[in-house]
Structure 1
Amino acid sequence: MKKIIIKYIANTITNLELEELKLWLKEEKNQKTFEQYIKASYDIDTIMNKPDLDAAYKKLRQTLDAKQKSKVRILPIWSKYAAAAVVVFMFSYLYTFYNQEQQTEEVLNTFVTTVTSGVDKATLTLDDGSDIILEEGKTYTNNSVASNGEEIVYKVEEEITPNKTGAKTIAYNYLTTPRGGEFHVVLADGTEVWLNSETKLKYPTFFKEGESRKVELVYGEAYFDVSSSKNHHGATFKVLSNLQEVEVLGTEFNIKSYKDETSIYTTLAEGKVAVSNNSFKENLVVGEQSVLNKTTGDIAVKTVNIYNETAWKSGVFSFKNKSLKEIMKVLSRWYDVDIVFENKKLETIKFNGILSRKMTLEEILIPIKRNVNLNYKVDNYKIIIK
């Protein structure tokens, strides 16, 4: 139900899932569980200037009723926390509701107003070096893989041409998402991987029976839902990424290993994993995150909020005590724009906030601009924070 609730908050829920959620919420105990989960996930009770959530819910409902009527079904009043979370950016030190009339007063640079959110797109690099562009609306298939433009799925049993010695030749593919792109891949063993923007994954088109299943996160961020070793004669699954190796039997975890960051972050969502390099080895339990320092090779382990670290997979930005510099780095990858700070003092201002990844860049920058009194200009397609 947590996954369905997250999809409801992100406005990506299907009609069937919505019916399932409504049926589940008919029980009073489930309504309380729902509200507690929303409040825990979005830190509503920790906001210094607590918003009027009843007013927010009423405003949202009126807006949806007016604009979409029969196309959108709204849950009863006890879902006010989730409804508010869909449309508001909750600042840790200031909270402002602004109406449609106020929004129209903002005059933004034409470039900013035309920047839209990322989409499903990636480049598939085959074993022979050829590149296949994958994007929404385009299909692709060969003897081992098929794509519908939103995901790519490998066949469990691939016909592989034996080499001269009679052994099967392993072919490796790369899947690369650009800035402003994301993609989903189902590997030949059934493991599912979600690639965030600016990410590159290397993997075989099939896995040899009896051998450890290995893939490489060359760079970027990816969420893994690993097919259990029980389905593969006990074969473990390993993810290599820069200076570390993550070994699992069957579990769900997130790895963030961007080229422009000094650390590699591994967050465990389900099961158990072992994170290691040449000097250290740490076993993680659910809710723990390892932080590997790329310079020293040291590994530190801390407890984190799983939702905050993996919300991107469900179509949501979840910022908890994040600096404006960190937030802008995330936004620059997703919206494929360069964002730099002219006023360095603004970099350290911190926020708690929930945002849909489907929002335009303009929709995100307007409330931030109002609440921290920042300005920005555009210079050669680069946003400069003043």
Structure 2
Amino acid sequence: MISSKIENIIAKFLTNQASASELGVLEVWIEEANNLELFNRYVKINYAIEYNMREFDSNKVKNKLLEAFARENKVRKLKKLRKTIYYSAAAVVLGIVTTAFLYNSGLFDKPVAPVAIVKNTIEAGTDKAILTLEDGTAVVLEKDKTYQKNNVVSNGKELVYDDQSKTKSGIAYNYLTIPRGGQFQIKLSDGTKVWLNSESKLKFPVAFKEGSTRQVELIYGEAFFDVSPSSEHNGAKFKVLNKSQQVEVLGTEFNIKAYEDEDKIYTTLVEGKVAVSNSNSKKQLIPNQQSIINLKGGDIVVNPIDAYNEVLWTKGIFSFKGKKLKEIMNVMARWYDFQVVFQNPELEKVKFNGVLSKNDNIKEILSIIKKTNFINEYEIKDQKIIIK
């Protein structure tokens, strides 16, 4: 049970009125066993009550919470607390805002038609990957299944390499491939953590060469990196290569999205500092900036962005802000492992805002989108979804 004192501080925190000392109290409290769950329940109950008692803009409720955690006031006290609660609160609000998937489009309203569902065999993705060892052996990693060999161990969700592993001679490489409908985490031998999204592939050394730049390659797909600082490795820099760009870091958190079926590469900086370069130019990013490289040619473009919103996928959340339906369905297709077909090409351009759980049933998501009346009908046939 939450004390009245903590309730009062939580209320102040959500409205950005808490003092530095109150944030300190909340930070200590939230780290105690079971208190994060109590926080979740408190927010969910209070906002659910508000939802049931009167009409309100649930998207504003979501934004009120998320923006409260993203504000930079009282930075030193708030920074750590924000990272702890931000993703948790976003997940709590899902139950409230999932039914309020908003739209913004110039298309005219269309009459609602029955939904044709032949057979729904489409399920949400899960933890799974294929580890390819230096000798070419392929090891299937699956949720709740353990694996251990020499200096590497997996619990079915994360692959961990011995942090004492170093080499003074040749480097042996492993590959981690995430299929459609999968996700996985890896902790490299230097302590760097990497979250890999569906349909991604990472090449990395079993052990980094002592005294040399630490280097990995995102062959394709999307990955979030939490890099072990160079100060812990005798100043050794960290680089992430891709066929169309290079990212150089000293110690930071960033996201790279480089899918083979997309014509752009996106690098988003959460914390620290990175330098992104290609054959045409080189740009440095600061937190809440995103670089975009058009694979058809051109310089690197840098735009401001809400970085935390871009990496919510690592916390089991899809967050779409002004995204076209085609982009949204492509993201869904990778996670749920299906093909999508648009019978009306104009529907690909409809823009939506929404926050969804990666555990949601695909039929529920399609039903939410359909309630906007911009989609007449959708049909599910085995692993194919037809938007009409």
Q: Same fold, TM exceeding 0.5? A: yes
For structure 1, the 5+ residue unaligned runs are 1-17, 36-51, 60-78, 95-105, 161-166
AA partner of residue 92 (structure 1): L
Whole-Å separation in 2 of the counterparts to 1:347 and 1:315: 25
Whole-Å separation in 2 of the counterparts to 1:316 and 1:173: 29
Change (3 A) 1:27 1:353: closer
1:121 deviates by: 0.3
Contact kept? 1:219, 1:241, Cα under 8 Å: yes
- Bigger relative contact order, structure 1 or 2 (CA pairs below 8 A, ≥6 apart): 2
Whole-Å separation in 2 of the counterparts to 1:343 and 1:28: 47
AA partner of residue 359 (structure 1): D
Contact kept? 1:53, 1:80, Cα under 8 Å: no
The aligned residue for residue 142 of structure 2 is 135
1:169 deviates by: 3.1
The aligned residue for residue 44 of structure 1 is none
Matches within 5 A, 1:276-291: 276-291=277-292
Instruction: Report the 3-state secondary structure (helix = DSSP H, G, I; strand = E; otherwise coil) of the residue aligned with 2:16.
Output: helix
The aligned residue for residue 91 of structure 1 is 101
The aligned residue for residue 218 of structure 1 is 219
Contact kept? 1:179, 1:335, Cα under 8 Å: yes
Change (3 A) 1:240 1:57: farther
RMSD, aligned CA: 2.9
Matches within 5 A, 1:1-386: 23=6, 26=9, 28-33=11-16, 55-56=50-51, 83-89=92-98, 90-93=100-103, 109-112=117-120, 114-158=121-165, 168-371=169-372, 372-379=374-381, 381-386=383-388
Contact kept? 1:254, 1:310, Cα under 8 Å: yes
For structure 2, the 5+ residue unaligned runs are 19-46, 55-87, 105-113
Change (3 A) 1:187 1:80: closer
AA partner of residue 373 (structure 1): I
Residues 1-33 of structure 1 deviation map (CA, whole Å, 9 limit, x = unaligned): xxxxxxxxxxxxxxxxx989x958635432323
Contact kept? 1:87, 1:355, Cα under 8 Å: no
1:228 deviates by: 0.3
1:213 deviates by: 0.2
Question: TM-score scaled by structure 1?
Answer: 0.75
1:80 deviates by: 10
Question: TM-score scaled by structure 2?
Answer: 0.75
1:381 deviates by: 3.2
Residues 249-295 of structure 1 deviation map (CA, whole Å, 9 limit, x = unaligned): 00000000000000100000000000001220000000000001111
Whole-Å separation in 2 of the counterparts to 1:34 and 1:322: 32
Contact kept? 1:111, 1:381, Cα under 8 Å: no
State, as a whole percentage, how many aligned pairs show the same letter. Answer: 51
Whole-Å separation in 2 of the counterparts to 1:213 and 1:80: 35
Aligned length: 316
1:158 deviates by: 3.3
Q: Which moved more, 1:131-140 or 1:190-199?
A: 131-140
Change (3 A) 1:304 1:29: same
1:378 deviates by: 3.6
Change (3 A) 1:174 1:81: closer
AA partner of residue 236 (structure 2): A
